[in-house]
Structure 1
Amino acid sequence: MATGELERPRPRPAPRKRTRPHGRIVVAAWALLIMGAFVVGDLLKRAGLATEDELPPLHAAPRLLTWQVVPAACLGGAAVAVLPSLARLLPWRVLLPVSWAASTSWTVVLALTDGLDALHRPLDAPTEYPAGLDAVRAGGPAEWLRTFTERLGGYTTHVRGHPPLPTLVLWALEEIGLRGTGWSSALVVASGTSAVVAIAVTVRHIAGETLARRALPFLVLAPLTLWIATAMDAFFLGVGAWATALTAIAAKRNSFVAAAGAGLLLGTLPYFSYGLLPLFALPLAVVILARPNRRVLAILLCCAAVVPLAFATGGFWWPDGVAATRETYLISRGSAQRSYAYFVIANIAVLGLLVGPATASALPAVFSRRRPLAWLVGAALVGVLALDVSGVTKGEVERIWVPYAAWVLLASAQHDPPARRWLAAQVGLTLAIQALVQSHW
């Protein structure tokens, strides 16, 4: 009888009854917001008020796939069945590479529904970074960097829309013999999927291993996986996630090496994308929660200054880059003409697509108490809202939100495992988007 009495509280039925109505309301609001964004977007397009996008609020076109999604559906179903058990039973050191492999497999199989060349095709576009590498090859990286701002208008869309570092990374990849967009896409996918591990490591150090294990299946099967292959923003996700993870390791273990690594990676973020500046809210949240000692914090901050100093020495001044990019954006056709009033709301609907109904349902539970998980989710949401309200992200946020949305997904760890119904909902949404939407990324 004593044993039975101890076991009764484990399911905790009362708390779940109190949180379910809130979750249902939020999921209903999530669905209405997304449907409303597409309906209003279609009306704007028909009225000639939406620019560039065939399927606003996404920078994509409608389509219909059938048998092509069958392999992905089979893999998704197997992952829903197996991942919760693996997350609970595997040793932590084994679970991390297994999760990375699962995330990579899911990403690649989803991409291949568009054909065998789907992994590198987005990077072959004339607007992308690889198309701008000729300018780096012509005069060398030092000359290219020194004149980057003044020659910005002559570069491809993505090169002139970002700081120099993404282009320099792809140039360096070529220099070590890994030429072509196939290798570039491999770098993007490997980095983007590794964020699953980095985020889990962060959660383990800040909120405990139990929550990290509960979050992993949702991180692997997130709808945002569709934009891991192959948008460079997935690479930014990986860099930002590992910078935050190393910050957590440094703070909790007093590791000077981890602090140095975290600082170096954090210093790169503003030079990958101007839109990554609000992502600093995440390592800041980690620092507030973990309270590292002064030496660790000093090493982190000193190392964070290395990359900015290197770029300034090389001739690229970040504020000038921001001003030049904004100028080219305002005088360009298309995206600058998009409706602020529409996209300030529709961008949030796109975030809802990236994180799925499982995350929406769990958000009330995350913020019902002051928990470490709430700090991480809240920091990511603050970053999204800052960019959204600023008006610099009018559309195309299905890729721009990726470095932030992965952290918002942590709300799903509130679901009691194995949570296979919620995981199935995430997979179902992912397959539906892939079957009905032809993304340009």
Structure 2
Amino acid sequence: MSYFRTTETGSPDPAAPGPRHRWDVVTAVAGALFVLTVAAIGWVLEYEDGEMSGDLHVDFPPLHADWLPHVGPGSPAACTVAVLTVVYGPRVADRTPWRGLLPLTWLAAMAWTWSLALVDGWRRGVAEQLTNKYEYLHEMDRFADVGTALRGFTQHILKAAPDNWAVHVAGHPPGAVLTFVALDRVGLGGGTWAAVWCITAGSSAAVAVLLAVRALSGESVARRAAPFVALAPAAVWVGVSADGYFAAVAAWGVTLLALAATRTVRYPTAAALASGLLLGLVVYLSYGLTLMAIPAVAVLLITRAWRPLPPVLVGALTVAAVFTLAGFYWWEAYVLLVERYYEGVGGVRPFSYWVWGNLANVVISGGLAALAGTRRAAVGTVAAGRRWWSRENPAASASGSTDGLVLLVLAVVLAIAVADLSGMSKAETARIWLPFTVWLLPAAALLPAVAHRYWLSGQAALALAINHLLLTSW
């Protein structure tokens, strides 16, 4: 591993070792104390005399989980993947040819996600995760006629409506459930195949993130990020939840836009069109992922490239047109969703707690390394912004500058803040932050390379502790 105090352009390299490293540790300690404080307050609010009596509606605040220390068939594999990534990950990421590093990172992310899921056993951890009464597969029989189901979709969103949809179907646009309908139609029906799809697609976000970081900040920065995106605490919720799949669709949409904007792909117009299709699709997978427009616009601003915008808009509007012509009206459904939201726990859970509980969930799913890296990005934002304003190109991959990554992370933090303050996330849990936290993980590349193994150890320990001490759900 090579260590530099400056980039090739002479700009400071936040990943170089130096006295500021102590602030990384301070940030991590502060983050841990923040999560513990939020958890303690949540415990007091939710429990009285040992009985659940509060309005938070989670058993182990701020996580939707139960205290259940256990081991499972995935435990040895998870520990093995963690040790191998911590010990060899940084060196392998530095020395493996780029074309080989991408599939290797995907395989590592899949191995990590699968092994964590199997800590809970095959049935409980994988096959039955998406088959309960709250999930998409519960409503599969009602989509025998897709056209009719789409035209009548909004009529079943409200709780008071006849035959109201299961919670997750009601809480999302129909693109989410139609994904599993499509799998069923090609012979991949049932909970097992749904889980395989979510894990395989969700773990591919690691590759998307690396490609985007390389396009915006250069290959050396992407290589430093690789072990962190592979060994993410967020994998606890990628295996298994549909939000892992949503995260991947959003990540590939942003990445294709970055490749088109930096013209680091053979056919940039086609990449921009594909980006628009994916970013359009993600809006029909989850209402809240309209906020992915913030990092998408940030990519265009960072690169000062507006040529991809028309094909992106064509792609996104094409998806919207298809759903609208099929009889599903997004805005009408969203208005009904807000009403349904406040009919359920969304109308009970106190915003005063969840505005902090949401952030604690982001810290948990991203890990303390991502938090410390995000602090470095925040510190470097002003300098990166000045260089951008002075028309130095922070996205030039040849420069090795971290500015592109710094500004992208800032945009993702802004998206998280908007989601948190909207009040529409307080009835949710850690899984909904996956599309955003996958973009905080590469911020760990800004940490001193000499300390990467220590930070990776912390990431792995957090995920292993969650999956072995708690039974996560939702």
Q: TM-score range by the shorter chain?
A: over 0.9
Contact 2:358/2:429 (8 A) holds in 1: yes
> Which one-letter code corresponds to 2:469 in the other structure?
L
Structure 2 matches for 1:180-259, cutoff 5 A? 180-253=190-263, 255-259=268-272
* TM-score, normalised with respect to structure 1: 0.93
Deviations 1:160-186 (A, max 9, x none): 011110111111111112111211111
Q: 2:361 aligns with which of 350, 357, 363?
A: 350
1:123 aligns with 2:130: yes
- Normalised by the length of structure 2, the TM-score is 0.87
More helix by proportion, 1 or 2? 1
In the TM superposition, 1:12-411 aligns within 5 A as 16-47=17-48, 48-66=53-71, 69-117=75-123, 118-137=125-144, 140-153=145-158, 154-253=164-263, 255-294=268-307, 296-332=308-344, 334-369=345-380, 370=384, 371-411=403-443
Q: CA offsets, 1:273-306, max 9 Å, x none? A: 0111112111111111123353x32112111110
Question: 2-side partners of 1:322 and 1:147: how far apart?
Answer: 14
Name stretches of at least 5 consecutive residues in structure 1 with no aligned partner: 1-6
CA distance in 2, matches of 1:151, 1:384: 29
1:366, CA displacement in angstroms? 1.6
User: Deviation string for 1:131-164 (max 9, x for gaps)?
Assistant: 0111112xx0111001100122311010001111
How far apart, CA to CA, are the structure 2 residues paired with 1:243 and 1:141? 26
Residues 157 and 365 from structure 1, CA distance in 2 versus in 1: closer, same or farther, beyond 3 angstroms? same
Instruction: Give the Å deviation of 1:50.
Output: 2.7
Measured against aligned partners, the alpha-carbon deviations of 1:114-141 in whole angstroms (never above 9, x if no partner) come to: 112222221011110000111112xx01
Change (3 A) 1:180 1:330: same
Secondary structure in 2 matching 1:223: coil
Give the Cα–Cα distance (whole angstroms) in 2 for the partners of residues 105 and 405 of structure 1. 19
- Deviation string, structure 1 residues 213-268 (Cα, Å, up to 9, x no partner): 11110001111110011111000000001001110111122611111101111111
Runs (4 or more) in structure 1 with deviation over 6 Å come to 7-10, 12-15
Could you give the per-residue CA deviations for residues 58-102 of structure 1, whole angstroms, max 9, x where no partner exists? Answer: 111111125763431122111211211110011111100011001
- Counterpart-to-counterpart distance in 1, 2:140 and 2:72: 38
- The 8 Å contact of residues 137 and 177 in structure 2, kept in 1 or not, is answered as yes
Other-structure match for 1:435: 468
Q: Is the 8 A contact 1:191 1:235 kept in 2?
A: yes
Counterpart-to-counterpart distance in 2, 1:14 and 1:172: 44
DSSP 3-state at the match of 2:19: helix
Whole-angstrom CA distance in 2 between matches of 1:131 and 1:260: 34
Aligned residues: 431
- Please, which moves more after superposition, 312-321 or 362-371? 362-371
Contact in 2 for aligned 1:219/1:410 (Cα 8 Å): yes
- What secondary structure is seen at the aligned counterpart in 1 of 2:66? strand
- Kindly provide the amino acid, as one letter, of the partner of residue 297 in structure 1: L
Q: 1:422 to 1:331 in 2, by over 3 A?
A: same
Letter matched to residue 357 of structure 1: L
- Aligned twin of 1:3: none
Distance 2:70 2:156 in 1: 42
> What is the percentage of aligned positions where both structures have the same residue?
33
1:145/1:15 Cα in 2 relative to 1: closer, same or farther (>3 Å)? closer
SS across alignment from 1:272: coil
* Residue deviations 1:189-215 (CA, integer Å, cap 9, x gap): 111100000000001011101111111
Deviation at 1:40, TM superposition (A): 0.6
Q: Which moved more, 1:149-158 or 1:215-224?
A: 149-158
Secondary structure at the aligned position of 1:61 is classed as: strand
* Bigger shift: residues 389-398 or 349-358: 389-398
The whole-number CA distance in structure 2 between the counterparts of 1:284 and 1:313 is 27
Q: Which moved more, 1:370-379 or 1:64-73?
A: 64-73
Separation in structure 1 between the aligned mates of residue 436 and residue 36 of structure 2, nearest angstrom? 22
CA contact (8 A) 2:46 2:57 kept: no
Note the alpha carbon deviations across 1:364-389, whole angstroms, 9 max, x for none. Answer: 32222212112211111111111111
Contact persistence 1:163–1:272 (CA under 8 A): yes
Q: Distance in 2 between matches of 1:9 and 1:72?
A: 35
For the 8 Å contact 1:120–1:230, the answer to whether it is kept is: no
Contact 1:336 1:394 in 2 (8 A): no
Please give the alpha-carbon distance, in whole angstroms, between the structure 1 residues aligned to 2:409 and 2:351: 25
Q: Which amino acid aligns with 1:74?
A: T
Letter in 2 for 1:84: P
Provide closer, same or farther for how the CA distance between residues 211 and 178 of structure 1 changes in structure 2, counting only shifts above 3 A: same
**In structure 1, how many angstroms separate the alpha carbons of the residues matched to 2:34 and 2:305?**
40
